[in-house]
Amino acid sequence: MRELAVKVSKLKKEYSSASQKIIALKEIDLKIEKGEFVTIMGPSGAGKTTFLNLVGCLDRPTSGKLDILGCDPTEFNEEKLSRIRVEEIGFIFEDFFLISFLNALENVQLPLIFARNYINNDRSRDLLKRVGLDHRLTHFPNELSGGELQRVAVARALANNPEILLADEPTGNLDTKNAQGLFSLFRNLNREEGLTIVVATHNIKLGYSTDRVIHLNDGKIEKDERLGKQDGR
């Protein structure tokens, strides 16, 4: 068995308000190896985003054990959690979250600024070239298509060379062609760089182009399908 990127045991997350208690994850057990390309699938409210938020150290579990890259983030203070989010984990969201007054190159450089790292223009340009946008470096978000915006978001997520890439419904605002292109890009990153990728999606066809599909429903894992290395179709 390869080294683990993620290990959760009896992981539980509940949200409470004055009127109700919602259990988003119900004591799930799961291991994800380094270098795996995994899809989390399930209906709205199944717990997909909650799971990604916990793995990405954006939220804390109610109970259970959480191990990310050999560390237990529940023991860390906010400063150390922020460091992990910036340096070890890349995030891609459905809504892109690019800064409107920064061009593509400047948006990609943002994680370097947050991490107080040297601003490597060559790496930022190389990342945009990698996602096919080396001709759009100085274009602003309102000058880019939906597919281009998402590719800038991918390049930004890779700026600090993370070990894990998390993507929450990254194709939700994309047409079929751009969605397929994004998953092809994920596959290349996984194969060529050994990047661990975990994607939450409703898209069944794209989900089954990965190595493994984990089905969540009502906060529980219903099925865990290991598909083996795919051909990138």
Over residues 182-229, the pLDDT tens digits come to 999 999 999 998 999 999 998 999 999 999 999 999 999 999 999 876
Say if residue 173's pLDDT is above 80: yes
218-221 CB contacts, 8 Å cutoff, 24+ apart:
218/26, 218/45, 218/46, 218/47, 219/23, 219/24, 219/25, 219/26, 219/28, 219/46, 219/47, 219/50, 220/26, 220/28, 220/47, 221/28, 221/29, 221/30
Q: What is the pTM of this model?
A: 0.91
- pLDDT band at residue 104 using 50, 70 and 90 as cut-offs: very high
**How does DSSP classify residue 153?**
H
Residue 76 has pLDDT above 90, yes or no: no
> In the chain, what percentage of residues exceed pLDDT 90?
64
Question: Is residue 146 scored above 60 in pLDDT?
Answer: yes
For the domain with range 34-63+76-226, which CATH number is right: 3.40.50.300, 2.40.50.140, 3.50.50.60, 1.10.10.60?
A: 3.40.50.300
